[in-house]
Chain A
Amino acid sequence: MSTLVVDRVQHEAQAVPLDRIDVSDPRRFQDDTVWPYFERLRKEDPVHYCRDGMFGPYWSITKYRDIMAVDTNHKVFSSEAGGIIIVDRNVGERFPNFIAMDPPKHDEQRKTVSPIVAPANLANLEGLIRSRVCTILDGLPRQETFNWVDKVSIELTTQMLATLFDFPFEDRRLLTYWSDVATTFPQAGQPIDTWEKRDAILAECLAYFTRLWNERINRAPGSDLISMLAHSPSTRNMQPREFLGNLILLIVGGNDTTRNSITGGLWFMDQNPDQLQKLRDNAALIPGAVSEIIRYQTPLAHMRRTALEDTMVAGKRIREGDKVVMWYISGNRDDEVIDNPNSFIVDRKNPRQHLSFGFGIHRCVGNRLAEMQLRILWEEILRRGLNVQVVGEPVRVPSNFVHGYSSLPVRIAA
């Protein structure tokens, strides 16, 4: 972005009356101009009420410690009452899933799928991930421009997801497609402009997975996610909408997030060549660099809660029923907790201290798998001395939830 544009955006963010600030506008995420608005809120009104938001009235929680307080107080701040994204849908239109449930049902369903990312299973996956990373990197075009998102980020995460579901490998890009559709809020002028269109595509996803479910329920329990869901007492009687809800959760959770951290990581290294040099000089920094990439990207910009009773957050009275949005993307830039938060520093102290995985009972279940994929990717990039040059600006997606990219043009010299 040019200095002129940055100055203009800074000026606008300062000039707008505080109560008119609506950080939920997806366009500000698409053109990457949301930062000065969050900076102003953190400084002037960290728990901020927006009356006329694009997605209705809501509270913004913008500072690290306040987000932590809301995230760990699931008795007052419900995930089930209004779902976990800022967009409202009526109860009958929602697809129930365990991230959008409160205890005790949340606990039972989460425990059904969590063994897939338990330490023993992760150790089993490491060799497979490494061989795939090697194949992908060695097969990349040389001396021609290509889209890193498509050839690396999507390919690696989608292969992983297909393995976790034991999904037909040749159809794996369907998972990418369904993931993108599921995180798309219909907008005029976009390919998906109505909820009906979105839900019709997701019904195809349900039909496909129902076939897999039916095959696996009649077989001995296996170690893939579908078999686990089909055989566990807490999930085997799910209604179709709930099955679809949990599928979407697992597809998006296992796909978009890591995908966008893979792309973001490459972009940040390109913008900060001194940091990349540190990694080239000392591969032992990679695990910390992975955490820093995940903080700096914050692949899910927010999680939403609904207050179940009147309560106070940082001196503000939040009423029963209010929509409360925790902006992880803002808390991760809070200088009261993170030193020099706007800088990308691969060897920072306490790199694991970030909000990108959330905290409390809904904390990301696949965080270690995500870290492992990123770690192996960077290990193999560096081992090869691969020199990937970014040759154009990234294109970001118009979403206040999935903070990600649709393309990043790159080129590998020889």
Chain B
Amino acid sequence: MPKIHFLEFGGREHLIDVPCGTSVMQAAVENNVPGIDGDCGGVCACATCHVYVDPAWLAKTGERTISEDELLNFASTAQENSRLACQIRMDDAMDGLRVRLPESQH
């Protein structure tokens, strides 16, 4: 089962086993990783599962979708490597993925 490293804003790290096909947002919420809200339930409608993808993993996690880009456009803390975690679905190639969480979700 692939693993994700979540790094909280305060620095605490969580290493989570995630079944393939699960979104990074679901993985965080189901394993009580604090700092990801996922208010819309994972349909790319709210931007409360904002994460920074470790630059080394950007090629594997792919590009933002158009609606994801629109929402991130309004997040004051968004950076080049910002993604919505509900739009990244885990597979074996992403084993070891590292994502960092922003100060808060908005």
Decide if A6 is an interface residue (CB 8 Å cutoff).
Answer: no
Across-interface contacts of A111 in B (CB, < 8 A): 73-74
User: Which residues of B are found within 8 Å of A103, using beta-carbon distances?
Assistant: 70
Chain A residues with CB under 8 Å of B77's CB are: 118-119
B residues within 8 A CB of A35? none
Interface check B103, CB cutoff 8 A: yes
Q: What is the CB-to-nearest-CB distance from A256 to chain B, in angstroms, rounded to a whole number?
A: 21
Residues of B within 8 A of A110 (CB): 74
Q: Is A268's CB within 8 Å of the partner chain B?
A: no
Q: Is A359 an interface residue (CB 8 A)?
A: yes
**A122 to chain B: closest CB distance in Å?**
8
Query: Interface size on A (CB < 8 Å)?
Result: 24
| B39 with A107: CB separation less than 8 A | no
The docked-state distance in angstroms from the alpha carbon of A30 to that of B23 is: 43
State the Cβ distance, B67 to closest chain A Cβ, in Å.
7
B46 and A359 form a contact (CB under 8 A): yes
Q: What is the minimal beta-carbon distance from B50 to any residue of chain A, in angstroms?
A: 11
Interface: B55 (CB within 8 A): no
With contacts A119-B104, A360-B45, A368-B106 taken as known, whether A353 is within 8 angstroms of B39 at the C-beta atoms is yes
Chain B 26-47 residues near chain A, CB threshold 8 A: 37-41, 43-47
Q: Report yes or no: A107 in contact with B44, Cβ–Cβ below 8 A.
A: no
Cβ–Cβ < 8 Å partners of A120 in chain B: 103
B38: min CB distance to chain A, Å: 8
Check B37–A114 contact: CB distance below 8 A: no
A94 sits at the interface (CB 8 A): no
Q: Is the CB of A363 within 8 A of B46?
A: yes
Would you call A72 an interface residue if the criterion is a C-beta within 8 Å of the partner chain's C-beta atoms?
yes
Asked if B20 is an interface residue, CB under 8 A from chain A, the answer is no
Cβ 8 A contact of B41, one of A117, A353, A365:
A353
**Interchain nearest-CB distance for A127 vs B (Å):** 17
Pairwise interchain contact B106-A118, C-beta atoms closer than 8 A: yes
CB distance from B12 to the nearest CB of A (A): 18
Judge if A361 is at the interface, Cβ distance under 8 Å: yes
Q: Which residue of A lies closest to B9 (CB)?
A: A119
Interface residues of A in 359-401 (CB under 8 A from B): 359-361, 363, 365, 368
| B71 beta carbon closer than 8 Å to chain A | yes
User: Nearest residue in B to A110 (C-beta to C-beta)?
Assistant: B74
Q: Taking the complex as formed, is A253 at the interface, i.e. its CB lies under 8 A from any CB of chain B?
A: no
Contact indicator A72/B106 (Cβ below 8 Å): no
Bound-complex Cα distance A366 to B32 (A)? 26
A89-130 vs B, CB cutoff 8 Å, 1 = contact: the mask equals: 000000000000001000100110011011110100000000
Quick one: CB contact mask for B60-104 with A, threshold 8 Å, 1 for yes? 000000010011011011000000000000000000000000111
Are B71 and A352 in touch, CB under 8 angstroms? Answer: no
Q: In the assembled complex, which residues on chain B have CB atoms less than 8 Å from the CB atom of A334?
A: none
Instruction: Point out which of B45, B73, B103 has the most chain A C-beta atoms below 10 A from its C-beta.
Output: B45
| Complex Cα gap A107–B39 (Å) | 21
Point out the residue from A71, A117, A119, A122 that lies within 8 Å of B45, measured CB to CB: A71
Question: Considering the chains assembled together, what is the distance between the CA atoms of A160 and B56 in angstroms?
Answer: 43
Additional A-B contact list (11), CB under 8 Å, known A115-B76, A119-B102, A365-B74: A68-B45, A107-B73, A107-B74, A119-B76, A119-B77, A119-B106, A357-B39, A359-B40, A359-B45, A361-B70, A363-B46
> What are the 6 tightest A-B residue pairs by CB atom distance, in nearest-first order?
A359-B45, A118-B76, A119-B104, A352-B39, A72-B45, A119-B103
17 A-B residue pairings within 8 Å (CB atoms): A68-B40, A68-B43, A68-B45, A71-B45, A72-B67, A107-B70, A107-B73, A110-B74, A115-B76, A119-B104, A353-B39, A359-B40, A359-B46, A360-B67, A360-B71, A361-B70, A361-B71
- Seen from chain A, the residues whose Cβ lies within 8 Å of a Cβ on chain B are 68, 71-72, 103, 107, 110-111, 114-115, 117-120, 122, 350, 352-353, 357, 359-361, 363, 365, 368
